[in-house]
Structure formats: C-alpha cells, structure tokens
Structure 1
C-alpha cells in the first residue's frame, strides 16, 4: 500500500512539473508580444490581435482589423466597430456601423439576433463568441443574457392600442409601403400583431430600455451604445485546460471558476477535480502561479483530506442507499417514469448510469448542448460508436423523457434514428442512439465551406429519405406519431449521408383513425411551426402540421439558404417562399449561383412540392405518402398550387378581425412555445 501511494505521488508530481515547464515556455514565447492599438482601443492583447501582428501573438479566431483608424471585428461575415474590450469579465462591446451619432435617421446595417450564436461547444469547432455569460454568484451557477433586441416591424395597418409599438416616423423614412414601428426587448407571440412582419432586428446591451415606455430616441441611443458578446470560451480553454467542463465567471471575485470533469485517483467516482484545481492553480492571465512543493502539499494536506472526504461520502452513500430501499416506491417523485417502464415492454436496452459513464469515458467528447442537456460521443463494449443524450433536470415529471422513449423506442426504420437504449436512475436520465458521423443537416446545408461536395443529387436523395421517415411515422406504425419539430437541426446524417429523423421530445402518439389532435400546449421551432398552431381559425391540428414543417425544410434545402433573408437585394426576396412562388407561377427562371440546368430542374421540383406542403389551409396540404410520391415522380406531373397565402388574413379578408381576436385570446392563455433546443 505504501509503495502504491509513493507511485501515485510521483506520477502527480511529474505531471505538475511538465505542466509548469510548458506554461513557462508559452509565457516566454509570448513575452515579445506588445499590446496593439487602433483608434480608441488602446490595449489590444491576448487573445485578441490586429491583422498583421506576429503569428504567435494572440489567437487567429480573435483577429481584429484596423480600418480608417477604427477597430473592426468580423462577426459572421459582417463588420462591426469595436467600442471596448473587457479583460475582466471576458466581454467585447461592438456597434453596428450603420448606426451614426447625431442622426436618429440612421439604421442598423445588419440583421442579427441571439439565434445567430450557438452558445455551445461542438466537437472540433468551438464558437469563439457567445450571446450569454455563464456566471457564478450567491444563487449558484446561472446563464446571463448579454443583450436584448430592438425589432423593426412593417405593418399593413396602423397599430395604436399596443403601447410597445413605437412609431419610427418622422425620424426614419422607409422605402417599403405600410407603417413602420420599433419594439424594445424580445417579441413574444402575445405582442405580435396580425399583419405585421419583422423587417430588421438588432441587439443592444443598454439595459435602460423599458418595453412599456421607451421612445425611439432612447432606442437609437441604445443602438449607439452597441451590444456585448462573450469570449469566455477562450478563457475556459486557456485557464481551465479543458473546454468540456463547467467554467463560470465568478462575479464576486472577478475570476473564472473551473470545474473540469474527471475521475478520482481510484478511477471509480466521477468528481469535480478539486485536487487538479489545487495542483494547477486557477490563475488569471496576469497572475503568476505559486505553490509549495507538490510532494509536501499532496502528502501532508491533499491526500489525507481526500481520503477523509472519500470515507465520509462512502458512509453517506450507504445511508442514502438503505433509506432508498426502505422507502415505498410511491413516495418517489419519479414514479411516473418508473411506472411507465414497469408496464411497457420496450425493445431498447436499459443501462445503468455506471455503464453510461463507461461508454462516454468520463464525458470527455461532447458533441453538442441545448436546453434538454448535453450529447456525448460514446462507445459500446462491442466497439460500436453511439451518441448519448444526457438529459438535464426535467421540468415536470419526466413527460419529455417518456415521450421520446415511447415513440422512438418501438419503431425501426432506415430514415428514423434508432434508439439503442436508455438509462433512468432517479433524476439521472440518458438516451443511447446510433452515432451519426456527419452530424445534423443544418451544419452542412448552410455551411460556407466551398470544399464540401454537397450537390443537388445528394440534397434530393436526402429530401426523399426525410419524407419517407416522416411518412412512416404518420402511416407505418400501429400508432400515429406526430413529431412537431421537423427542422434541419433534427435531421442527422450517417456515413453515407443517409438522413434520419431525430429528437422526439415533442412527439405525440395518436390512434391511426384520429385525424384531429387536441393540444393544450404548443411546441416547436419558430419558422417551421404550422400556422394552425397559432391561429385557431386556420384549421385543426393534425399530422398536416408535420407536413408544413417538412415543406419549410424542403424549401431551405432547395434554395440552400434560410427562408427568411433580411439581406436580400430586393424586398420581395426577403421571404423566399413568397418570392419563389411568384417566379414559378409567372414561369420565370429562378436565379441560383453555381447550378447546372439539370440541378435547376431538381430544385424547381423540390420547390413546387414544398409550396404544396406549406399551404395555409391544412386541408390543401398533401399527406406525407403523397409527398413521397410527388418527389419520386416525374416533373411533368407536378402542378403549381393555385394560391399561396403568407398571412392568415389573406385567406379570406372577411376573417381578418375574427382571426386577430382569436389570436390575441389564444396568446394570452397558457401557451408555451419551445425555441431551438
């Protein structure tokens, strides 16, 4: 036992020495990098660098440029003027170059919202900037939003009763027809007036705005102040030495708190690495690491405390286990999940949480993160790679978990992601899926990397595969499965780019003969949700809602762009489905870059099918079986739909006021809209 302890101490001491040598070499290499300056930004230092600085100075992901004595940040291919760099809380404040001082008539040049930021780590691709800041305070860890929005809307009629709508005239003159308004803060479904469409959206971090009583002059001042974004990702990677652990900005000490995931010395328990933190230190950029000799610290302080804590935890766990066995099952708050698993024979394998931890090897390789929890890459004992979704704390009694296991756990189709197994131990829940090496469709479809070979033949085959998968959910099972969240993010691609429908957290089961669905809570993603989920008078909620979502997805696949493009050269092209319908109806050629005549035919075919799917009235939409038939059939047999309505009141003008009142009453109820997960 003594020899074993000495070996452990020696290995840990050697790791400490190697880390110190590497850190010292890095500091010496960066010592010749002096701070740069441009305009009013006088201290541009690591991780930031100006274009033209030595290669080893700063990080290339945080490169700035100096144009006309103005520091410029290139963010998502758009240029923003840098106002300040905060090296304490790891934020950067920038302003849209279209907003000018002493001129309230100036407008933001770019359309930018919180949805442009991933705010998550992706394997091999870490987004350098985030729209939120993970903080640690007296209330514990929480995520703070760094900015709110100012939204410009174009309305077909005057809005006088909604006090949040601020008239922009005579300060701002617009070329478009109608009435122009601005709103401070985020726009909810209850605030959205029928007949209004979003024309421009810009962020601001000036928190003096009040949505109830803000003037347009105040909004203009807020835009001049700019908005903050966080570069904490770099700090976590640089100071905590692992981008996959928890990393928070402590608002009380103004330092980072690093909590990397690892196993303890004995390789059994997953713990927060307090020991690793003590050895490595938690220093800031400008602080020097100072520790007493590692052998003295570990031998006299760390190891005895560690063993004492381990013994205490063991006794505590034993008491908790005996208490859990003694309690009756009905006293568990997770009774709903346990009862469901007891009374249903499921094909997927039930794993223990210990087996899950072995699969993911200490949660080292994270594939993604969202409101549901995190997804890690794992490996079965057979060597097969899997994707493991570790769910966060459930809001409710585990209904989302039950829904996903109940739906996808009983089906098997080549175009539906396969659920291999699941884990439920008290509050711990995980789902084990087959691993899809090419990730989600949105990563490739909207990628700006021209090296990715993703032609229309491949897109067309993916579209047919997705349609077959949804058709199977609607018509191929004993129970009808409605997905309610069809979008590019939820279409996964395997090694051969075969598509598979995934993420059944919002799915519902209904009898095959039940054509009408009753829902008290609305879920989905804005931009893909069918209009009947918002407006009662459009039609009943049914499987046609998934058809609408597939149509919006198909339209984006055909055009290789988002359906809403505020940067379009002409205002008529802002909403792509409306613009492309008019062109096809008038038999005009659709302008697309780098596309052959044969590919134009494929794109046109997909667009016509998509227009059929996104008809305003659900009764006018085809079933998914018909959609598959249309996609696989000849182009000559496809007819263009006779009409295409963008707004509900365009269906019949007589229903305009009726639908508006229905929408208002429906929005004020307990409706919930689930955003991107």
Structure 2
C-alpha cells in the first residue's frame, strides 16, 4: 500500500506526478542531449563539435567552457574581451585550431593596439607560430631588417612599421625607449610560403594567415568511439549516449542509483524504483524552477536597470520578432566590435537598423553599456533608440534607420575626388552637427558621456545629410563634475585616439579626448589626411609639419581646386579648428562649445594654433593601458 499513499500525498503536486510518468516512460529509453549535441557548422569553416559549441543553436552543455562559437554571416567567430577571431580550421585530433583577427578582414587600418590575450582560457600559443611585431610612433626609422610601413598608423613625423620574425628581436633599434608602443601579433607560416614569400606580402595578408592555438579539455576519444556525444555539465565531463548519460563512454561508468534500478526485480525493488522516480521528479521540478527563477531574476535585474535609465519606454521585442523584421538577418548594414547591424522593417513599414549583439560572457554587460549611454540621450545629432530585445543571451537594439549610411563612404573615396552630393556647405553643416552632438553628450545630459570612438564610420547621415553620432559600445558614463576620469584600458580606433588615452604622461582622460578624435575626423572630412598620404610621404615630411608648411606658404592643402572665396574660407576655417582640436596636451584643446563658436564665427578671427608637441615621453606606455584597445567597463 505504499504507492497509493504516496500518490495521495503527492496529488496536489501535478508537476511531480507528470514527471514520474514522463521520466519512467521516456528518459530511460532515449536521451535528448544526444540529439542536441550533434556536430554543426556555421555554413563556412570547419565542423563545430565538442569541445566547441555554437551559441543560439546549441546548449552550453554540448561544449567546454570558453569554447563558445558565434555564427556571423556564416563565419565561425571566437570572441575575446579584446578581439573577435575568425576560426579558419580545427584539428580535433591534434587539439589545435587556426584563428585570424577579424579586423584584418573588416577594418581600414587593421593593426592591433594590444597583444592578444588568452589568459584564464584553455588556449595556448603553438610553438610553430611566428611573430609580426608592430612598432608605433617611433622616433627613429627602422634599419637592418625587412619591415612593412604601416601608413595608416602614422602620427606626425614619427614612424610606424611592422617586422616579422621567428625568434625574439634583439636589435637595439626596436625598443620602447624609441617607440610609444610595441605589439606582437602571432601568425602561422603556410606550407606554400617561405621567407622570400613573406617579403612579397603585406602585413594585412600576413594577419589573414592567422595563428595556431592549442587547447586543453577532457579527452573525448573513448566517448565518440562508443557512439556517444561529448559534453560538460558545469562540473564534469559527460558522455551523452542514445539511452542515457555516462561518465566516460557509452555502456560504462553508470551512476550508482541507475545500476540499482536496472538490477531491481522484486516488489520491494519496484517500490524503491518508483520512490527514486518521485525523488528525481521533485528534484528536476525544483531545479527547473530554480533555473527559471535565476534566468528571470537576471532578466529582471537588467530590466530594472533599463527602467531606471528610461529605456523601458521603448518597445520590447521578442527575438522571433527581430528575426521577422530583418527577414532572418538578410541585409547586413555593417559590423562593429560588439555586433552586426542589419536592415529591418517594422510592421508599420518604418525602416530600422537592428544591432545584434554578440554573445556576452558578462551577463549582458555589453548590452547594458550601450543602452546605459544611448538611453540617456535625446538630441537631433545623436541616433535614436526605438526598442530592444532581451531574451537570455539573445540581445538586440533597434535604432532609427539612416538612409545615407555612414559619413565614411562620402569622404574615403579612392583617389582625390569627393562625392558630388556633398558640397562645402554640406561638409560645414555636418561638422557643426557632430560638434553639437558631442557638446550635448559632454554637458547636455544629466550624466556626462564620453564617446571614445568618434570617427567617420560612427557618424550616420539621414535623408537630409543631418549627422547623428552612433555606436556607443566604448562610451563611458561620467557622473559628478570631475574634469578627468580613470580608464582601465586604452580604447578607440588608431589614428583617432588621443595621446592621453594611451599614455597618462600627456594628461588626464576627459571630454578633451573626444575633442582630439573630432579634430582628426575633421581633417578627414576636409580631405587633408588623404593628401598627406599621397604627397607628404614622397618627401618624408609628415603630419602636421606638412600642414603648417602649406599654410605658412599660403598653398592649398588639397590638390582638388577650390576656387570660390567662400569655399576657401570654409576650408581654412575647418582646418584651423581641427588643428586646435589635435593639440598634444588636453589643456591646449578647446571644448566642444568653443569648437562650435569657432565654426560659426568670422574667419578672420581664427588663428592657426602653434604646432603640437611632436616628441613623446621617453617612458613607455603605462602597463595597464597596453592590454586592450576596444574595451568597455
């Protein structure tokens, strides 16, 4: 009479009753984890199986911690806090795989600003790798070794270059006493490439060759040979087989209570069997409930945060709705360090830009970082957030769509011709709009916001060419009225990063760091930076000496003819403002409010500033600022 009493006692607990019969009739006969953990592919690249697993498509128990792969445009991507890497090949028999920095495929200047870090991961560099060492802003020109000139990373009259080598460089000409920064990027020599072949390649091609990593994870050989699928439950390695889960391989290493169940044949054993099922049912229901509560608590915590920052006023979308509005992520608009942007359309026909964030290892910190910044803004020159999606690891932001795309495509033409749709008046208005947007971020919000990544790629243009600042992935909130802030990592894009962000000896990091980036971007809008690469390189004269010499001799800074007096005044005004903005020391730069006044003022009142200090401190970069380049806190 044990069973009737037990069922009478458990009658109100429908979850447990259902679990008893479901577990008794299905679980012992088939194991759903076996089917879930079948090998998959992103479309391109190698087959993905244990210890790797694909986020959004597989459960985390199918792989080993830190081996998460994200599919982006059918490419397998391994993400680290500093960089995203394309997984080119995986050798499961040798426990090694080849990856390449995605920046080599996507960025205009794909040079690393920090060493790749795989600390606290199961990955180690292979001894077969070579090194491609990048030296930035060196006071002496490299000699005695074949080098690649890194033109896109030039700064003033200093040198930036790359050197490939197998062993450690011992040449005194390559030292941090003469260079602001040195970064090593490993690469693996292809069988078809030799030393002479490397000399014929450029540094981007070498970066695309990728490098070899070895991994350490529990061995899967015995499990797979027995017909199982390898996995990990958070505490130990498991072998998922068609019937059930084993500790090592199918048919061996059963958990003790399962063996007792199989052996039991008497009535008493049957009673024990059912009792065990009841206990398991209770535990599973309680465990599922705890897991659900944890997930809900995590999402609720994020939503409370979003509500406190005014973001829940925007609509919350389900991930299925995000897939529908983007037609299953068909039209890609662009890609950044934290995600991919797709074109979408709402049910009312309104076009939007959907930013799908990459899987985060920090419980939504990347998501929160961007939302915390953008949700505080409301300005004509800052892109508007319309909604968001938050479903566990699936996170997306829905922005207003900018039909003219980014400013970059209008000012980075090959050669010296400018897109005809942008007149000098257009360029001036765009420069003013960006300046007003930055002024708003620095002083118009309740909490000051430093953007840290002002560049043409992150300036979007609407149908009327009104500029809007976007991509707040590196932004930092600055509560209080402190003039400077503390940053743990160098952040930004090389060529636009202010000196103090990389080296504290230049001064404190503040809103003046955004001013510097704005000045570099303004030179690019005018078109001066394009000509520097063409003309100044031929005479070994570098920016900004080249600019000042041209101004002092009253010569045109650009080779395209600007004949109208008004256009020449506009050009000279914008150049003068940019030169003030890129002064070496933050205290010598204007605020964004002053920049607006300068852009709107009388040209005769604009004075060309003194030349920036070109020499850098002999002390190398502060150690904590050389570990990462694109980080948010």
Q: TM-score, normalised by structure 2?
A: 0.58
Q: Please, which moves more after superposition, 606-615 or 390-399?
A: 390-399
Q: Is residue 154 of structure 2 the alignment partner of residue 184 of structure 1?
A: no
Question: Whole-Å Cα distance in 2 between the matches of residues 501 and 323 of structure 1?
Answer: 43
Equivalent in the alignment of 2:546: 579
Per the alignment, do residues 423 and 510 of structure 1 end up closer, same or farther by CA in structure 2, a change over 3 Å counting? same
203 and 441 in structure 1: CA distance in 2 versus 1, 3 angstrom threshold: farther
- Cα distance, 1:465 vs structure 2: 0.7
Q: Aligned pair 1:555/2:523, yes or no?
A: yes
CA distance in 2, matches of 1:630, 1:229: 43
Any idea what SS the aligned residue of 1:570 has? helix
State how 1:101-140 maps to structure 2 within 5 Å.
Answer: 134-135=88-89, 138=92
Q: Distance in 2 between matches of 1:181 and 1:380?
A: 48
What is the distance in 2 between the residues matched to 1:559 and 1:344?
Answer: 39
- Deviation of the 1:136 alpha carbon: 6.2
**Shift of residue 669, structure 1, vs aligned partner:** 6.1
> Quick one: distance in 2 between partners of 1:462 and 1:321?
58
Give 1:595's match in structure 2, choosing from 548, 562, 571. Answer: 562
Q: Secondary structure at the match of 1:394?
A: coil
Q: How far apart are the structure 2 equivalents of 1:456 and 1:631?
A: 13
Indicate whether 1:458 and 2:423 are aligned: no
Counterpart CA distance in 1 for 2:382 and 2:486 is 25
Indicate how the Cα distance of structure 1 residues 429 and 182 shifts in structure 2: closer, same or farther if over 3 A, else same. Answer: closer
The Cα of 1:408 is off from its aligned counterpart by: 1.1
Greater Cα shift, 556-565 or 508-517: 556-565
- Of residues 391, 404, 416, the one that matches 2:382 is 416
Distance verdict in 2 for CA 1:600–1:206, change over 3 Å? farther
Residues 441, 451 of structure 1: alpha-carbon distance in 2 compared, 3 angstrom cutoff: closer
Pairing 1:168–2:145 present: yes
Query: CA shift at 1:514, angstroms?
Result: 1.8
1:440 aligns with 2:396: no
CA distance in 2, matches of 1:141, 1:482: 38
Map Cα deviations across residues 387-419 of structure 1 (whole Å, 9 max, x no partner): 000111124332221121111112211110001
* 8 Å contact from structure 2 (residues 497, 517) kept in 1: yes
- The one of 198, 205, 222 equivalent to 2:198 is 222
2:388–2:398 Cα contact (<8 Å) kept: yes
> Which has the bigger relative contact order, CA under 8 A and spacing at least 6?
2
Superposition deviation, residue 515 in structure 1 = 1.1
CA 1:516–1:336 in 2, change beyond 3 Å: closer, same or farther? farther
The offset of 1:643, in angstroms, is 3.1
Cα offset, 1:359, TM superposition = 1.4
Structure with higher Rg: it is 2
Residue 484 of structure 2 contacts residue 510 of structure 2 at CA under 8 Å; is this kept in 1? yes
Distance 1:638 1:525, change over 3 A: same
8 A contact 2:531–2:559 mirrored in 1: no
CA contact (8 A) 2:520 2:578 kept: yes
SS at match of 2:334: strand
Aligned residues of 1:478 and 1:512 also touching (Cα < 8 A): no
Q: Distance in 2 between matches of 1:321 and 1:438?
A: 53
Match of 2:623 in 1: 667
Q: Structure 1 residue 381 and structure 2 residue 381: aligned?
A: no
| Change in CA separation of 1:333 and 1:531 when aligned onto 2, cut-off 3 Å | same
Q: Any idea what SS the aligned residue of 1:397 has? A: coil
Gaps of 5+ in 2: 1-43, 46-71, 74-84, 105-129, 150-156, 169-173, 209-283
CA shift for structure 1 position 642: 2.5
Match runs of 1:293-442 below 5 Å: 323=288, 327-329=292-294, 337-341=302-306, 343-346=308-311, 347-442=313-408
What is the deviation of 1:460? 1.2
Give the 5 Å matches for 1:192-341.
Answer: 193=176, 195-196=178-179, 206=189, 222-224=198-200, 323=288, 327-329=292-294, 337-341=302-306
Q: Deviation of residue 350 (structure 1)?
A: 2.0
3-state secondary structure, aligned to 1:515: coil
Q: Please state if 1:541 is matched with 2:509.
A: yes
Distance in 2, Cα, partners of 1:321 & 1:357:
33
2:483 alignment counterpart:
515
The Cα shift of 1:574 comes to: 4.2
Q: Offset of 1:451 from its aligned partner?
A: 6.2
SS class of match (1:328): helix
Identify the residue that residue 93 of structure 1 maps to in structure 2: none
- Give matches, 1:611-650, under 5 Å: 611-648=579-616
1:154-191 deviation digits (Å, cap 9, x = unpaired): 84359xxxxxx873399x9xxxx99998622799xxx8
- Deviations 1:93-128 (Å, cap 9, x if unpaired)? xxxxxxxxxxxxxxxxxxxxxxxxxxx98xxxxxxx
Structure 2 CA distance for aligned equivalents of residues 326 and 205 of structure 1: 43
Contact in 2 for aligned 1:578/1:646 (Cα 8 Å): no
List gaps (5 residues or longer) in structure 1: 1-87, 90-119, 122-130, 159-164, 210-217, 233-318, 649-655
Q: Secondary structure at the match of 1:461?
A: helix
1:301-352: CA deviations, max 9, x gaps? xxxxxxxxxxxxxxxxxx9999367643379666763452354442322222
Q: Normalization by structure 1: what TM-score?
A: 0.55
Q: What's 1:606 paired with?
A: 574
Q: Is the 8 A contact 1:148 1:185 kept in 2?
A: yes
Shift of 1:471: 0.6
CA distance in 1, matches of 2:91, 2:597: 57
Quote the residue 1:492 is aligned against: 460
In structure 2, how many angstroms separate the alpha carbons of the residues matched to 1:180 and 1:414?
Answer: 39
Paired residues for 1:63-74 under 5 Å: none
1:144 aligns with 2:97: no
Tell me if the contact between 1:487 and 1:549 (Cα under 8 Å) persists in the aligned partners. yes
- How big is the shift at 1:613? 0.4
Contact 2:519 2:582 in 1 (8 A): yes
Deviation at 1:454, TM superposition (A): 2.2
Check conservation: 2:389, 2:396, Cα contact below 8 A.
yes
Q: Is the 8 A contact 1:612 1:641 kept in 2?
A: yes
Match of residue 475 from structure 1: 443
Does the CA-based 8 Å contact 2:309-2:376 persist in structure 1? no
1:513–1:192 Cα change, 3 Å? farther
| Equivalent-residue separation in structure 2 for 1:350 and 1:370 (angstroms) | 23
CA contact (8 A) 1:525 1:675 kept: no
TM-superposed deviation, 1:469:
0.6
Over 3 Å counting, the alpha-carbon distance change for 1:460 and 1:572 in structure 2 is farther
Distance (Å, rounded) in 2 between the aligned partners of 1:132 and 1:376: 20
What SS class does the counterpart of residue 352 from structure 2 fall into? strand
DSSP 3-state at the match of 2:533: coil
Change (3 A) 1:494 1:194: farther
SS state at 2:422 partner: coil
Are the aligned partners of 2:87 and 2:97 in contact in 1 as well (CA < 8 Å)? no
Match of 1:501 in 2: 469
